């Protein structure tokens, strides 16, 4: 398709204008609003005990979700690529299922399993573990929504590299474990890294599911996203902006890492 | 994988001792041992993986289905078609359909500009597309609040209206179509377009007859993902849509409100039934996409 210079320019202008109105202006305004009373006010606002505790709780939940989803994600990807068992299509569909589930439904479902009137709620409470309205429930909600990322990023890489090198290593006397650490893991590292960073970005921002299974008590069960909402509800709008900007900065860092990893992945 | 055996008849014998008695060399035995060691690998991994998926994903969803149906199909139907639920679902579907159409046009446009156009700063623009994936939904909500809220610098007051729901969803679904269409457009064969142009086809004809069929499956998949996301979206609309029943309440908020209005945060049939409705819609949209994609790739293979 050969487009005239004028048509090309107008298409470009249209696309850039759309992005500017939808993305850049809102982001610019929130940065302006956050810092309009000076940087020190922002620093004060994100170093209150509640904010610091929300930050560390977020890191803790993200950390658990990343570790578990990495272990089980790589395992699942390996199994899906290497095994020749029928019915794999069904497992593939289940891996994708969290993409189709609303975060609110995630919260609903966890309450129905682990809540007071849920299937196993009383059993867990009798054994001294409260899941709903407590951190374990928030962890479960976060893991649920981030299940697909590592599997989906690692699987195609595994498919592409095949098993020849591993077999060669086995011939040379390497154990399964050695072959995995020395051969498989290094060759999937960029894909895995990309999957992990997607998991981190999604887990950091999880709100809907977590909000239903947490009482959002400051210093106890409040993540950064819940802090934004609770500050807004308490009419502390500038505090909400500050917390949102902190989250956004983390998101942008994740995005930069994502771009770099994506380039490495395609070049590798 | 199985190696041809040196003595087929003897090896097929029922007694292992007979086979070893013939002093047939070990290779077949060790390859069999290796085969036996290989088989469980995938199986055990698949087993553990399925167990993990069952505990994390399937068990909770089964609990929703059980709760939605525990009063029978009649109760389920009543809960899903209660006036407030029906109105919320109607709004959700209409808004998601608008999102699908808007994304089809703007997503294709942006992908086209990113692939076929050259301008300074293109790489930055390209990276910006992923921003809505990286930004937490509640942050998206507060961003829109600062622009369209009571102290809007533009004098726009859209809070608690239907248009703000569309804007919020446009923000969070921006990457889907762009990221689906872009790689296909990059690999598209441009010679066919040039040939058509030489034969006097207009740009519109070329777009309709050559480019659209090429990007069609990817475009459809992007639209479907955006639609499925819009159906269940919660965080980005929660601060801006006002949550007014029969006016600006979408289904995800209807569900959340049912739970929050119960003293102990218990889930009632209404919340469970509407969760199932959301799940089914998203599931069938994604299933239809997979079927279309499979058919497309088979056509391609031929």
For residues A48 and B8, what is the distance between their CA atoms, to the nearest angstrom? 78
Structure-token match 């498989």, residue found: A184
CB contact under 8 A, B49 and A72: yes
Separation of first and last alpha carbons in chain B? 29
Please name the residues in contact with A210: beta carbons below 8 A apart, sequence gap of 6 or more: A107, A138, A141, A142, A223, A225, A226
CB contact under 8 A, A19 and B110: yes
Torsion-angle region of residue B121: left (phi > 0), alpha (psi -120 to 50) or beta? Answer: left
Nearest chain A CA: its distance from B287 CA (Å):
9
| Record: contact B66-A112, CB cut-off 8 A | yes
**What average pLDDT does the segment B64-92 reach?**
93
- HSE-CB at B216 with a 13 A cutoff on CA atoms is 15
The structure tokens 């759309």 sit at A18
The answer, yes or no, to whether residue B18 has pLDDT greater than 50, is no
Q: Which of A16-30, B36-50, B64-78 has the lowest mean pLDDT?
A: B36-50
Residues 6+ apart with CB under 8 A from B5: B11, B24, B28
CB contact under 8 A, B60 and A112: yes
**B248 three-class SS:** coil
Separation CA B234–CA A252 (nearest Å): 22
Mean pLDDT of B101-115: 95
Nearest CA-CA distance, residue A31 and chain B, Å:
9
Report the alpha-carbon distance of residue A134 to residue B17 in Å, rounded. 61
Q: Per-residue b/e over A67-87, b at no fewer than 16 CB within 10 Å?
A: ebbbebbbbbbbbbbbbeeee
Angle of helix A237-267 versus helix A49-82 axis, rounded to 10: 30
* Average pLDDT, integer, range B245-264: 89
Q: What whole-number distance in Å separates Cα of residue B101 and Cα of residue B169?
A: 12
B255 interaction partners in chain A (CB closer than 8 Å): 102, 104-105, 108
Mean pLDDT of chain A: 89
Distance from CA of A75 to the nearest CA of B (A): 6
d(CA B260, CA A212): 8
Amino acid A268: pLDDT: 63
A109: closest chain B residue by CA = B60
3-state secondary structure of B254: helix
Contact list, A232 vs chain B (CB under 8 Å): 142, 145, 239
Among B38, B45, B67, B286, which would you mutate to test the A interface (most chain A Cβ atoms within 10 Å of its Cβ)? B45
Distance of alpha carbon B126 from alpha carbon B108, whole angstroms: 14
Q: Is B267's pLDDT higher than 90?
A: no
Q: Which residue of A has its CA nearest to B37?
A: A176
- Residue located via tokens 């950091």: A204
Length of chain A equals: 268
Contact B282 A100 (CB under 8 A): yes
Closest-CA residue in chain A for B107? A15
* Per-residue model confidence as pLDDT tens for chain A (268 residues): 667 888 889 999 999 999 999 989 888 888 888 898 888 989 999 999 999 999 999 999 999 999 999 999 999 999 998 887 777 888 888 998 898 899 999 999 999 999 888 888 888 888 888 888 889 999 999 999 999 999 999 998 998 888 888 888 888 888 888 888 888 888 898 889 989 999 999 999 999 999 999 988 888 889 999 999 999 999 898 899 999 999 989 888 988 888 888 787 777 6
* A165-203 burial code (b ≥16 CB/10 A, e <16): ebeebbeeebeeeebeeebbeebbbbbbbbbbbbbbbbb
Instruction: Give me the sign of the Cα torsion angle B70, B78, B240, B101.
Output: positive
Neighbours of B191 (CB within 10 A): 8
Distance to chain A for B2, nearest Cα, Å: 15
Which chain B residue has the Cα nearest residue A101? Answer: B279
Rounded average pLDDT over B18-33:
43
Least Cα separation, residue A77 to chain B (angstroms):
9
Q: Please tell me the predicted confidence (pLDDT) of residue B31.
A: 46
Mean of the pLDDT values across residues B93-108?
A: 96
A65–chain B nearest CA distance, Å: 11
Examine the pLDDT at B134 and tell me if it is beyond 60: yes
Under a CB-based contact definition with an 8 Å cutoff, are residues B82 and B74 in contact?
A: no
Nearest to A82 among B42, B144, B252 (CB): B42
* Beta carbon pairs, A and B, within 8 Å: 276
Q: Do B138 and A106 touch (CB under 8 A)?
A: no
Cβ atoms of B19 and A61 closer than 8 Å: no
Candidate from A30, A85, A109 with C-beta closest to B42:
A85
- Of the candidates B42, B48, B50, which has its C-beta nearest A84's C-beta? B42
- What is the model's pLDDT at position B159? 86
Query: How confident is the model at residue B22, as a pLDDT?
Result: 40
* Rg from Cα positions in chain B: 28
Tell how far CA A115 is from the center of its chain.
Answer: 24
Contact state of B60 with A144 under an 8 Å Cβ cutoff: yes
- pLDDT score for B89: 96
Q: Do B275 and A109 touch (CB under 8 A)?
A: yes
Topology of A39-267 in CATH? MetI-like fold (1.10.3720)
pLDDT at A160: 87
What's the ipTM? 0.88
What local confidence, expressed as pLDDT, does residue B188 receive?
Answer: 84
The tokens for A195 are: 């999957």
**Rounded distance, CA B127 to CA A195, Å?**
17
DSSP result, A179-195: HIIIIIHHHTHHHHHHH
Are B272 and A255 inside 8 Å of each other by CB?
no
> Looking at the predicted structure, is the pLDDT value of residue B193 above 50?
yes
User: Measured between beta carbons, which residues in chain B are less than 8 angstroms from residue A3?
Assistant: 116, 203
Closest CA of chain B from A230, distance in Å: 11
| A14·B256 Cβ contact <8 A | no
A94 closest CB neighbour out of B58, B60, B174: B58
B51 closest CA partner among A261, A124, A199, A79: A79
Q: For testing the chain B interface, which of A28, A102, A203 should be mutated: the one with the most B CBs within 10 Å?
A: A102
Enter the tokens of residue B108. Answer: 């294709």
Mean pLDDT of the residues in chain B: 82
Q: Map out the domains of chain A as residue ranges.
A: 1-36, 39-267
Helix (H, G, I), strand (E, B) or coil at B244: coil
Please list every residue in chain A whose beta carbon sits closer than 8 Å to the beta carbon of residue B210. Answer: 1
Q: Which residues have C-beta within 8 Å of that of residue A240, sequence separation ≥ 6? A: A228, A229, A231, A232, B142
Longest Cα–Cα distance of chain A, Å, equals 73
Q: What is the pLDDT of residue B73?
A: 92
Q: Pick the residue from chain B with its C-alpha nearest to A82.
A: B42
pLDDT band at B299 (very low <50, low <70, confident <90, very high): low
In angstroms, what CA-CA distances link A126 with A122, A130, A165? 6, 9, 51
Q: Is residue B15 over pLDDT 70?
A: no
Cα of B14 to nearest chain A Cα, Å = 27
**Residue B298 pLDDT level (bands cut at 50, 70, 90):** low
């Amino acid at each position: 398709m050969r487009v005239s210079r004028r048509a090309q320019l107008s298409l470009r202008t249209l696309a850039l204008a759309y992005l500017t109105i939808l993305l850049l202006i809102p982001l610019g305004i929130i940065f302006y609003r956050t810092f309009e009373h000076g940087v020190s006010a922002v620093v004060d606002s994100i170093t209150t005990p509640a904010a610091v505790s929300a930050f560390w709780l977020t890191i803790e939940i993200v950390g658990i979700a990343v570790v578990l989803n990495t272990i089980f994600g790589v395992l699942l990807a390996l199994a899906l690529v290497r095994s020749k068992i029928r019915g794999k299509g069904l497992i593939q569909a289940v891996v994708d299922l969290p993409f189709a589930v609303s975060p609110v439904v995630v919260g609903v479902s966890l309450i129905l399993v682990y809540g007071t009137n849920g299937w196993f709620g009383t059993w867990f409470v009798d054994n001294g573990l409260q899941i709903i309205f407590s951190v374990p429930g928030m962890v479960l909600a976060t893991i649920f929504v981030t299940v697909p990322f590592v599997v989906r990023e690692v699987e195609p890489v595994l498919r592409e590299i095949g098993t020849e090198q591993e077999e060669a290593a086995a011939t040379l006397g390497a154990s399964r474990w050695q072959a995995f650490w020395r051969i498989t893991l290094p060759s999937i590292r960029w894909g895995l890294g990309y999957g992990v960073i997607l998991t981190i970005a999604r887990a950091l921002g999880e709100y809907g599911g977590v909000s239903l299974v947490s009482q959002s008590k400051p210093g106890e069960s409040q993540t950064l996203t819940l802090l934004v909402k609770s500050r807004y509800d308490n009419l502390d709008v500038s505090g909400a902006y500050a917390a949102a900007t902190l989250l956004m900065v983390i998101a942008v860092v994740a995005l930069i890492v994502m771009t770099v990893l994506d380039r490495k992945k395609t070049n590798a | 994988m199985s190696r041809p055996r040196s003595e087929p008849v003897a090896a097929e014998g029922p007694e292992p001792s007979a086979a070893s008695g013939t002093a047939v060399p070990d290779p077949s035995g060790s390859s069999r041992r290796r085969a036996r060691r290989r088989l469980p690998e995938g199986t055990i991994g698949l087993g553990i993986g399925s167990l993990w998926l069952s505990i994390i994903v399937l068990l909770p969803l089964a609990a929703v289905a059980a709760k939605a149906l525990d009063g029978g199909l009649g109760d389920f139907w009543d809960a899903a078609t209660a006036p407030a639920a029906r109105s919320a679902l109607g709004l959700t579907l209409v808004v998601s359909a608008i999102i699908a159409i808007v994304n089809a046009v703007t997503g294709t446009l942006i992908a086209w500009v990113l692939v076929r156009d050259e301008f300074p700063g293109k790489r930055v623009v390209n990276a910006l597309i992923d921003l809505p994936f990286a930004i937490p939904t509640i942050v998206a909500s507060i961003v829109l609040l600062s622009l369209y809220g009571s102290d809007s610098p533009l004098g726009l007051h859209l809070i608690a209206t239907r248009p703000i729901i569309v804007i919020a969803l446009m923000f969070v679904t921006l990457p889907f179509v762009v990221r689906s269409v872009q790689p296909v457009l990059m690999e598209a064969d441009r010679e066919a377009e040039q040939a058509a142009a030489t034969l006097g086809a207009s740009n519109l004809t070329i777009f309709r007859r050559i480019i659209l069929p090429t990007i069609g499956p990817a475009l459809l998949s992007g639209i479907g993902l955006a639609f499925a996301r819009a159906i269940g979206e919660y965080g980005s609309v929660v601060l801006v849509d006002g949550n007014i029943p029969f006016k600006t309440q979408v289904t995800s908020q209807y569900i959340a409100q049912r739970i929050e209005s119960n003293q102990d945060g218990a889930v009632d049939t209404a919340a469970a039934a509407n969760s199932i409705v959301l799940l089914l819609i998203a599931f069938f949209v994604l299933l239809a996409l997979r079927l279309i994609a499979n058919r497309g790739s088979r056509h391609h293979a031929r």
